[in-house]
Chain A
Amino acid sequence: MRAWWWRRCFVAAVATAFGICPAAQADDATQRGERAASEQAAEEIRAAQAAKAAFHPSHLRSSVATMSATRVNPAATSHVWQARKAARPPPAIIPRIAFSEATGESSETYFDEHIDGIIQGQCIACHVDGGASANTRIVFVAGSDASSRRSNRQTLADFLSLVEGGAELLLNKVQGVSHGGGVQLQAGSSGFEHMRTWLGLVGEEAIAPGVTPETLFDSVRMVSHERTLRRAALLFAGRNPTAEELRTLAEGTVGVRRAIRDLMQGPAFHEFLIRAGNDRLFTDRHIRSVLDPNSEYFVRLAQLMRKGRVRYGDDFYGSKWFRAVQFGVARAPLELIAHVVENDLPYTEILTADYIMANPFAAEIYDAPTEFLDDDDPFEFQPSAIVGYYGKHESKITRFNQRYGLHVISPGTLRMDIPLAGVLNTNVFLHRYPSTATNRNRARARWTYYHFLGVDVEKSASRTTDPAALADTNNPTMHNSACTVCHAALDPVAGAFQNYGNEGYYRENYGGTDSLDEFYKEPPDGSETLYVEGDTWYRDMRVPGFEGAVAPDADYSLQWLASRITEDERFAEAAVRFWWPAVMGTEMAEAPEDPGDVGFAGRLLAANAQALEMTRLAERFRQGIGSKHPYNVKNLLTDLVLSKWFRAGAVTDDDPTRREALRNAGAERLLTPEELTRKTAAVTGVEWGRIRPNTNLRFVHNSSHLERDYHLLYGGIDSAGVTERAPDMTALMASVAQRQALELSRMIVLKELYLLPRAERRLFGSVDVRRSPAAELGRVSSVRGLRDSPQTLAVSGAMKRGAKTVTLAFLNGTWDGEQRKGRHLWVDRIALKDSAGALVANVELEELSNYTTSHNGNCGHFTDNGYQFHGCEGALLRFPVTIAADGDYRLEVVAWGERFGDQLPRLAVSVDGDRISARQASRIKVQLAALHWHLLGEQVGTDSADVKEAYALFTDVWRQHYDLTSGSRLCDWPAGRCLLNVDQAFFEGIVEEQPLKGNAQGWRWVDWRQAEEIIGATPDPFHVAQSWAVVLAFLMTDYRYLHL
């Protein structure tokens, strides 16, 4: 339940809370009073019924009479209650006159000084005779004279005496708990404290809260500015912060603020704004279809659609043009919000804009002369106008053909200018919230109140409405107090939408006169209509307006409404409420509705605290920072990120109320599918399932797996039946995240270690797959030697004594089956010499066939005079040796090869110890620490638990591989698959011509042959790449990777 920001209460309190109380015994005088009150009540009932009957369609009169005779009329109930109250004897508990310990004031004086002002300034808006809450148990008298104050004191005393727990109920109500008037006094505010004090003075128990909104964060540690900046960067820029951005933190709060604000630009920020807007408005429900191609109003659309259908048939509905048109129209409100925010325009312009955002395709069907940088780019939006809108008129000539649709032969002369009002009359907004003959724009009014004034009319009170009221057919929204409590405010706003029909077309009726329901204008049963020619709104509804003001001009009523809304002080608070979930990942806390609810105290505290925060943020938003740039959303977003609710990091006490209140505090939440996609792409350079359709033929607005195929499974919304993001990780969602990590990790390693120059690597800058982590001696050489003139390759270095493993790996073996040729390598012998040059050991490789070795039998074999490495990937030979003493050694390898293509054979030689060397271990840990920062945002040292754990994983996996003969390449089969089609943009920046094939419909797919050629071999003789692939998958499924 959302907290309310009513300044003027116009919704009645819950009838169940302030229900009817039992009558007390009466004496003679009070009996007379009761009779008089009852007679008056009865007379008023009769008058009301007479009025209803006069207004009533005749065919319903009998049923109304029947209902009235048997049902309870809330209006009558109210008068009965008042009569009973008047007849009641003085309360058993007289308001005790006590004295404040602090000030010495009597309760009476205290009331006059501190409570009366609240009553007159706030409560009286509804809790007054004739007011919206006139039928509740608290009805005050207006006026601050002595008599009125006495009366009001007595009213409260009566209430407290008759209602068990009345003090607590009162305090809950003013905080918004089950209160139609919403929050009137926030806990912690001076008014609230006065109320509590006064209740104490009159002897009512009102428990002082332990934790207050002011002290809520006392035992909460905030996260560092660095972490805050990182989270902000992920949110607004879809990436990690740069080193330069991190340096601005040294400037303190000013630097932090500037750094955060500077993130708010570019495509990722644009996407954030679009997503945040749609998460509220749900207009993307119609992203594929908002304008009816057969509607006669947008003449250009109909004309172009017909041409397309004549040429392409029904396939035209899938064409890029059609999709781009619908996209352009559907995204208008979201693009307007983005345009306003990105250009630092005042947020009020989202309602007052007299232009409409359009892409080139939408502008075309609007007939607008808007200029674009790229007329073929569906994603470029510019402020535009609707020029070619034609109403129904006798001069318009159209024909409809079943096969080709509407044919507009002549648009006619009734071209109409639509007075634009920002989001409110975009076609998609009106289409998303359609109307009907009976709804009459009330749904549009409801959502306008909700999104732009922060008022949820439907949930204004958990009211249990009298069934007779709900069944009343005598225009109940005008006459029935159970209905008018909401409709009195809702219906004028509905009227402001008077020019828009059910599907959102402007003045859709003939002659462009109005959008009234035809059956209202001409009842099919021939009965009399209230309609008068020239009317644009229903005469049996309240006149178009807003909160007591009447729209002055029917033509511009929506624009007028827009400006009134933006002038309302609730607009700023509604903006805070609108943007809060996009940053915090959760709705703002609402006051719980039942004091019996579990966690009530904590939830109420959260609602109060957030209400205070909203007030603070709204005031800054309204005034601007330093009185500059009011209504700037970037400033608001910055404020949200710097708020305690976002930055809360850890709590140091176990107070249950505090913990309940902090239930959703902090920013550590599940990333949305879109956020995870952006993050992965920014951090790794690869996007899971990204497609690259031919944009000349096809238009796709969501291009990755998480945004398209796994969107709902990973907690996303479809803006239709599913409008709430799933906030909690489930087994299925975890599987999606796993799948992404597993499919991508090997490909990311492939790209970084085999395709990109070292300087362009994002993650693995220091990794070299050609060097064994356990190497004491090692070298990679190109072999120029030939059979007749073998080459001696040498490497020198220090080695410790003990068991070693010698590895000879042929890095670029290849075989061309068509040419029957390949690149091969032979090794004759290996000699080990000490520092003096003395031969320590000499190994003729053919002799090794009698000993324990590891080699890939598919890729090599022993010959009579050595070992031949075949032309294939993964060729290696590994055998053990023992070094007798520490010292400097020189290893010589005699080898020759067969060249193929433009590459010489390359041989890696390594003498490995029995474990990863200290130096390599240090480098690996440094790399791991870097990965923890890039992927998880954790600044960890090389001796941290995180790095130790990841290092243990690395060594564990590496050791598993080291003992195997197979698996000496990164991309293997059947296990260790590299999915070359995981990202159709994978090779961008690597080769000029992308290995993609396409079809006539514009879809593309990866050409595996071409891709494999580009990649070539992926030798991994020392299992370095494979080990890093596993570590990367591990980190990409780390909790902190998947959460903000």
Chain B
Amino acid sequence: MNRRRALKALVGGTAAGWGAFHLPLAHADDYTGKLFVFVQADGGWDPTSFCDPKTNVPGEPVINHWAERGTTQEAGGIRYAPFADNAAFFRKYHRRMLVINGVDAQTNSHTVGVTHNWSGRNAEGFPTMTALLAAHHSPDMPLNYLNFGGFSATGGVTRFTRLADAGRIRALAYANRVHGNEELLRPSEWSTLQRYRARRITRLNEAPGLLPRPARNRRHYQSALSPASTEGLKRYAEALPPDDQLEQNVQYAYDGDTFHNGLRRQAQLSVLAFKTGIAVSADLFLSGFDTHRSNDAKQGWLLGALTGSVDYLWEYAERHGIADRLVVVIGSDFGRTNHYNAEDGKDHWPIGSFVVMEKNQPWTGRTIGETDDLHFAQKINPTTLERDDTQGTIIYPKHVHRALRSYLGLEDSPLAAAFPFHNTEDFRFFG
């Protein structure tokens, strides 16, 4: 039996699935580990106008209009484009940033790019890192994996929760309460109902011969109504600010497109979920980066929205005392072409970047990975992290994912072992 089959047997590829398989890890109240935010800039951002700045090359089509009037800037050794609100962002956060440039998504397809960058594999079937982290660190938390849109494959390891209207969450956390202190059922009625319901769902779970789907669904229902879940929701609801203190979505219309930035609210809801111990990982989502027309105006607004929201995320996390535990990863489907099209837009380009942020780490404050003047990816040595055309390899999303798994404690997890990266060099991004 080869190693692959042995692993499969060890992990148990049964349809009982991952819902029943989790390590008895830290109780929600005890969890003091890292917290994870993955920001999906959906549509294909323009790294050459952000963290992998490209000025124009004589004799070549114009790569960036901003380069006609400015030049690449630097903050603490990290180069950035003088575009949108980059300056403020890089100056403030360069010490927390690891920029990984020249990541080859190997595709111009949105579907494949999104799958590749957020799961580490361009074929479907792998979960997001967000899902893996949630399943590994907090399987019992009521909303352990938050997803605000975008790619959300779980691979069956956990469930995601979509948070929307915060005001409704308050009502839901206290399902029996209305108008402040009025109640729909009397307290004794409510507790009696819950007691009998718990009994019933336990009995339903024990029904013989359940097919995998009903077995799974029943387990999900039972855990969704567990005391830990309901108490967790209450803690969360109590932590939510009044509606007038919630961040509002912002809109921007240009050239027939309308963009909506809800990142700040997503960040707010996520931080509070982390703080109240009901979640450990979240996918934040901002779409619109697919700028085939009027690239600069749209990317400008979107990148500004992105950096402004990530700034807000850090500040809000700081205010709530969890910034020291936060790990933020920002990425996109792929990049944009090294020239403009006839409508001043930019089309798809397979080379992208990741930005990983964390406070007080030795591996931050630098850029790894390289692209040439025309934004083609260069080979990097996994050990030295320097350009190496003979011993190096192009950086692919799987390298980033593998390194993140290792850094974030997933490498030896059976959960991650079920989704292995084969033939993947070990890039020491995080030391």
A462 and B213 form a contact (CB under 8 A): no
A220 partner residues in chain B, CB cutoff 8 A: 211
Decide if B175 touches A738 in the complex (CB within 8 Å).
Answer: yes
Within 8 A of A (CB), among B12-38: 12-17
Least CB separation from A711: chain B residue: B164
Contact B124 A1030 (CB under 8 A): no
Say how far B200's CB is from chain A's closest CB, in angstroms. 6
Question: Could you show 9 A-B contacts with beta carbons less than 8 Å apart?
Answer: A439-B292, A464-B106, A601-B13, A659-B15, A662-B15, A664-B213, A728-B220, A732-B161, A975-B184
Interface string of A1006-1044 (1 = CB under 8 A from B): 000000000000000000001001100110011110110
Closest 5 CB pairs of A and B: A519-B342, A650-B209, A593-B123, A599-B13, A659-B15
Whether A999 is near chain B, meaning CB under 8 Å from some CB there, is no
**Distance between Cα atoms of A60 and B188 in the complex (Å):** 78
In chain A, positions 169-205 with a C-beta closer than 8 Å to chain B are: 178
Q: A467-B104, A731-B232 are in contact. Are A666 and B197 (CB under 8 A)?
A: no
Q: Does A712 contact B (CB under 8 A)?
A: yes
Q: CA–CA, A1043 to B200, complex, Å?
A: 15
How far is A663 from B17 in the complex, measured between Cα atoms in Å? Answer: 9
Cβ B124 vs Cβ A1 within 8 A: yes
* Interface of chain A residues 23 through 64 with chain B (CB within 8 A): 59-60, 62-63
Q: A438-B345, A731-B142, A945-B203 are in contact. Are A463 and B163 (CB under 8 A)?
A: no
* B residues 60-119 touching A (CB-CB < 8 Å): 60-61, 104, 106-112
Q: What 0/1 pattern do residues 423 to 448 of A give for CB contact below 8 A with B?
A: 00000000000001111000000000
Query: 1/0 contact trace for A577-597 toward B, CB 8 Å?
Result: 000000000000010111111
Bound-complex Cα distance A669 to B163 (A) = 22
B287 proximal to A (CB < 8 A) = yes
Say yes or no for A517: interface residue by CB 8 A criterion: yes
Residues 185 to 208 of chain B near chain A (Cβ within 8 Å)? 185-189, 192-193, 196-197, 199-201, 203-204, 208
Q: How many angstroms between the C-alpha atoms of A325 and B338 in the bound complex?
A: 42
List of B residues within 8 angstroms of A470 by Cβ: 106-108, 349-350
- Asked if residues A721 and B175 are in contact (CB atoms below 8 Å), the reply is no
Q: Interface residue tally of chain B, by bracket?
A: 35 or more
Q: Shortest distance in angstroms between B282's beta carbon and chain A's nearest beta carbon?
A: 14
1/0 per residue, CB under 8 A from A, across B196-237: the answer is 110111011000111111101110110111000110110000
Q: Which residue of B lies closest to A1029 (CB)?
A: B185
Least CB distance from A657 to B in Å reads: 9
Q: Report yes or no: B196 in contact with A710, Cβ–Cβ below 8 A.
A: no
A541 within 8 A of B: no
B124 to chain A, nearest CB (A): 5
Q: Tell me, yes or no, whether A792 is within 8 Å of chain B by CB.
A: no
Given A739-B171, A746-B184: A1034 and B8 within 8 A (CB)? no
Q: How far is the CB of B209 from chain A (nearest CB, A)?
A: 4
Within the complex, which residue of B13, B186, B213, B233 is in contact with A598, where a contact is CB–CB below 8 Å?
Answer: B13
- In the bound assembly, the distance between CA atoms of A557 and B264 in angstroms comes to 46
- Is the Cβ of B193 less than 8 Å from the Cβ of A713? no
Q: Shortest distance in angstroms between B280's beta carbon and chain A's nearest beta carbon? A: 15
Q: Could you list 5 further interchain pairs (A-B, Cβ under 8 angstroms) beyond the known A670-B217, A975-B183?
A: A595-B4, A668-B214, A730-B143, A1030-B193, A1039-B201
Least CB distance, B152 to chain A, in whole angstroms: 7
With A665-B213, A731-B142: A467-B201 Cβ-Cβ less than 8 Å:
no
Interchain nearest-CB distance for B233 vs A (Å): 6
Residue from the list A594, A602, A722, A1033 in contact with B123, Cβ < 8 A: A594
Q: Complex formed: what's the CA distance from A746 to B176 in Å?
A: 12
Q: Tell me which residues across on chain A come within 8 A of B150, comparing CB atoms.
A: 721
Q: Which of these, B161, B179, B204, B213, contacts A663 with CB under 8 Å?
A: B213
A919 to chain B, nearest CB (A): 24
Is the Cβ of A1 less than 8 Å from the Cβ of B123? yes
- Quick one: closest A residue to B204, CB to CB? A1039
The answer, yes or no, to whether B341 is at the interface (CB within 8 Å) is yes
B377 at the interface (CB under 8 A from A): yes
Residues of A at the B interface (CB closer than 8 Å) are 1, 59-60, 62-63, 178, 220-221, 436-439, 458-459, 462-465, 467, 470-471, 473, 503, 517, 519-520, 523-524, 590, 592-602, 648-652, 656, 659-666, 668-670, 709-710, 712-713, 715, 721-722, 724, 726, 728-736, 738-739, 742-743, 746, 945-946, 949-950, 952-953, 956-957, 960, 967, 973-977, 979, 1026, 1029-1030, 1033-1034, 1037-1040, 1042-1043
Residue of B nearest to A661 (CB): B15
Q: Is the CB of A669 within 8 A of B217?
A: yes
Per the bound structure, the CA–CA distance linking A738 and B345 in Å amounts to 49
Query: How far, in whole Å, are A595 and B123 apart by their CA atoms in the complex?
Result: 12
Closest A residue to B286 using CB positions: A721
Q: Tell me, rounded to whole Å, the shortest Cβ–Cβ distance linking A699 to chain B.
A: 22
**Nearest CB of chain A from residue B165's CB, rounded to whole Å:** 7
Interface centre among A473, A524, A709, A734 (most CB of B within 10 A): A734
Cβ-neighbour of A721 out of B124, B161, B183, B285 (below 8 A):
B285
Nearest A-chain residue to B348, judged by Cβ: A470
Chain A residue nearest in CB terms to B200: A949
**B169 pairs with A732, CB closer than 8 A:** yes
**Is A651 in contact with B209, judged by CB distance below 8 angstroms?**
yes
Tell me whether B374 is interfacial, beta carbon within 8 Å: yes
* Other-chain residue from B106, B125, B217 in contact with A597 (beta carbon distance below 8 A): B125
Complex Cα spacing A473 to B349, Å: 11
Q: Quick check: A666 and B176 within 8 Å, CB to CB?
A: no
Contact A731 to B230, CB < 8 A, known contacts A738-B175, A742-B184: yes
Closest to A60 in B: B61
Which B341-370 residues have a C-beta within 8 angstroms of A?
341-343, 345, 347, 349-351
Does B376 reach chain A (CB closer than 8 Å)? yes
| A967 and B125 in contact, given A458-B109, A470-B108 (Cβ under 8 angstroms) | no
Verify A730–B161 contact, CB threshold 8 A.
Answer: yes
CB-CB under 8 A from B14, the residues of chain A are 599, 656, 659-660
Docked CA distance A454–B250 (Å): 38
Given A709-B168, A974-B182, A975-B182; A600-B224 close (CB under 8 Å)? no
CA distance A949 to B202 in the complex (A): 12
A471 vs B169: C-alpha distance in the bound complex, in angstroms?
Answer: 47
> Is A732 a contact partner of B214 (Cβ separation < 8 A)?
no
Residue contact B109 to A977, C-beta cutoff 8 Å: no
CA distance A945 to B329 in the complex (A): 51
A975 near B208: Cβ-Cβ < 8 Å: no
Q: Which residue from A471, A742, A1043 sits with its C-beta under 8 Å from B176?
A: A742
Q: Are A728 and B182 in contact (CB under 8 A)?
A: no
**Least CB distance, A745 to chain B, in whole angstroms:** 8
List chain B residues, Cβ under 8 A from A1038: 197, 200
Is the beta-carbon distance between B122 and A464 smaller than 8 angstroms?
yes
Chain A residues with CB under 8 Å of B8's CB are 596, 598-600
Complex: A231 Cα to B339 Cα, angstroms: 56
Interchain CB contact under 8 A, A436 and B232:
no
CB contacts (< 8 Å) of A952 on chain B: these are: 196
Instruction: Give the docked Cα–Cα distance between A1031 and B57 (Å).
Output: 75
